[in-house]
Each structure stands twice: as C-alpha cells, then as structure tokens.
A = this chain, B = another copy of it.
Amino acid sequence: MTRYYRLADIIGERIEQGLYQCGQRLPSVRSLSQEHEVSISTVQQAYRVLEQRQLVEPRPKSGYFVSQKHDLPALPAMCRHAQRPVEISQWDLVLNQLQGRAQGVTQHMGMGIPDVTVPSLKPLTKYLSRIALNTDLSSLNYDEISGSLSLREQISRLLVDSGSHISPDGIMVTTGCHEALSIAIHALCQPGDIIAVDSPSFHGVTQILKGFGMKALEIPTDPLTGISLDALSLALEQWPIKAIQLTPNCNNPLGYIMPDAHKQALLTLAQRYDTPIIEDDVYADLAYHYPRPRTIMSFDEDGRVLLCSSFSKTLAPGLRVGWIAPGRYMDQVIHMKYIGTGATATQPQLAVAEFIRRGDYHKHLRAVRTRYQLNRDIMTDWICAYFPKASRVSRPQGGFVLWIEMPERFDSLRLNRQLEGSGIKVAVGPVFSASGKYRNCIRISYARPLTAEVEAAIKHIGKLMQQQMDEFTA
C-alpha cells in the first residue's frame, strides 16, 4: 500500500461520509501535504486516484472539487418485520437462480461471481498448471483433513490484516465458504434450533438452516451500519438463540461495513447471552478502503467467533477453496468436515497458497478493488438514469453487488418472467430472506466489465420495471 493510496482512501472516505458536499472545493494540495506530512507529489497522485474513482473533478486553476456525480440515490429502507423464528422456504427460487445457464440466460445480472478475466489472476493459472505436472504427485493424494499446511500458513498471514493472530493450527480449509458456513452451523446447532441472521442475508445460509431443519430469526438490518443491535438484544432476551450468523463486512447483499463500535457491542451482547457468532467474511478483502476492515473475531477473546471465508469472491469460485477459523469449536468442526467431504481438493489449495506467498494476492486485490469501486459508481449512475425514480439503491463499501429496493407493489419475480427470452436475469429479493420477504427488491452484480451490452441490459430491465410501476398508477 503506497502513501498516496492511503491518502486517497482517507479523502475518499470523507467524501463518502458527506464531510465534503457535491460540487464543494476540496483542500488544496499544499494544505493536504502539510496536514498529512507527505510530499506535494503524493497529494497530487492521491487526487489522480480519486479522479479515476470519479469522486473528484479537477477544475483548471481552481483545484479539486467533489464530483457532481455524487448526487446519490436514496438508500434502501431498514425492514421492520415481525421478529419471530420461521421455517425456511424459497428453495425453488434459489434453485431457479442457480440454473440460469440451462435456461439460456447469457446475462445473469444477479450472480455473486467475481471477474475471473482480470490479468492479475494470470499467475494463478500458471501455478495450477505447474502443480498438476509436479513429479512428486503428493498433490493427487488425500490432503490432511484440516487442509494443506502451506495454505493454512498463508491464511494465517492474511488474517493479520483483519486484526487477528491465529496460527495455522486454528484454521481448517473447506470446499468454499459454503462448506465453512454449513460446518459451523451444523457443529453448533440441532434441528429445531433458532439462529439469528441479518436480513436481507445470503441465501446459502438460510438454505443450510432449512436443510438441517433449523429456524431463522431475521433481525432488521440497517443499510449503512448493519444488524440492529437493539432488535438483536430484544431477540436474545425473547428466544433461545443458539447462534448469531451475519456478514458484517462488505455485506451481501447490502454492501455496508459495520462500524467497529457496533462489532464490539455485538460481541458484548453475544458474551452476555453466551452465544457463538458465525461471521461470514467472504467479501471483506474486497473493501474499497485500505486497510481492510476488522472482523468481529479480531475483538473476540474467548473463542466464540467462527470466522468463515473463501477465495471464491476474491479469486475464483471454481477453485472451491474456503476456510474456517472456528475458535474454541475446532474439534466439532473437524468432525463435521470429515462427515461432509472428508478432505478438500489438493491442487487448488497449493496454487492459492503459492499465489498468496508470492505477493500476487495483494497485487490482485489492489487491481480488483479499484475496478469494483469504479464499477459501483458507473452501475449506480446507470440505475439512476434507467430505473424508475422511486428506486432506492445501496451504497456498497466493498464487494460487487448492489441491492435495489422498489416500492412495495413492484414484483421482482414478475420482472424475471418478463425478462424470459431476453437472455437477461436478475437475482430476486425473496431468496435473500428466510421467509420470502423483499419481493420488491433485486440484487445486481457489477463485477464483470461494464460494457455497452450490460448498459443495454440495465436499460431494458429499467423499462420493464417502469412498466410495472405505470400499471399501478394507471
């Protein structure tokens, strides 16, 4: 991380927080140089980064100004639904979302898939190929049940960035974050148990709860600060909650980063009720600001946080390389790994370990972070331009998905039906709820290069959305 990147992040954050308003003049190069004790050229480079991110505009002879583009759309509202544990439905909808390819969908706008075509990923394919040809052949054998030591060592190093010091022995490799979450839930809870989740939340987790016959208690979640601590506190008082599962960093689908103070407060709550926390960290290395946000686990001193993550969003999902740092629950977690898959495919693990060890991972992260942040702004602009005026849009602090909330009468399932035959599809809101809420919401991904074709698709989606809106006002 260079100095000017760090400075760009600081100024960028101030703009995002509204400290400098749209069109307002920003501090001069000289004053920033003095304030931050950096050279003039560092400030100039920082401003150039912010220009690329379309956060600032230079005006000849006047300095830098907050970009006019940052007249942002309204944020989605915090849902205030009844707090009661529910059995999970929506499997048909989730399956339908997964089966896009079979339906002739060429532009699946809603999938949580990173861009695997970025050049910074190239070394990974090289390592994969080299390891396959390795003559010692040990990569064809079963790996240790907890995963390849070389990978766990590298993950241990990465964890320092999120504020944790965990030895390789405290980490177990999994078949993607999916298996990590599945193992964590299965290790802690029994059929019939109640698990508190943020809402909206990742459909993988709600379907895991369904598969194990457990119940979800959906906690209202703020689109900027995350799960409502008041609501969670009330829920913990009212119900025998066995675990709290949430995605505090670069949340899917809302994109927020929970403030550190909230993370600490949440941990205190969990301590008071002696409840374990299953923390999904899968998008967190894609936070737009450096250093990446801290995990809840990094504040934890009694091993109650089970941190789940993978390289599916940062590198490539087809590798199926994830991991879990399960705190004090390692014994149960190892058993669940054994009964689920026995071991993780060996060669992808070794390739990822090499990619991190040689510094390619951080290089790659820098490249995609910048790209995704830029894409967020372009996609937000398109949505402002082409979607109905009533659209409310999330403001992600990392990752590559947007959450769009429409007025109640809008039906995202109907939208997908209307899109049939066009090759376009969106992720519908109800899959992000255990009980089928958010029918008026959709998730849009901006990971892929935002070509004219993508813009045309957004325009087409917007037109159909407007038609739905017009029907009701007609």
Contacts and interface: CB of A to CB of B under 8 A. Distances in A.
Interface string A81-109: 00000000001001100110110000000
Interface string A327-342: 0000000111011111
Contacts of A95: 145, 334-335, 338
Interface residues of A, number: 64
A474 to B, nearest CB: 40
A125 to B, nearest CB: 5
A204 interface: yes
A347 to B, nearest CB: 7
A338 B94 contact: yes
Interface stretch (A207-215, A296-304, A385-393): A207-215
A345 B316 contact: no
A190 B211 CA distance: 11
Contacts of A340: 178-179, 182, 211, 340-341
Contacts of A212: 339
Interface of A is mostly: helix
Interface stretch (A126-134, A160-168, A248-256, A357-365): A126-134
A315 B137 CA distance: 12
A186 interface: yes
B178 A316 contact: no
What is the total number of copies of this protein in its complex? 2
B141 A317 contact: yes
A316 to B, nearest CB: 4
Contacts of A101: 144
Interface string A172-216: 000110110010001000110000000000001001101111000
Interface in A299-325: 312, 315-320
A225 interface: no
Interface string A38-65: 0000000000000000000000000000
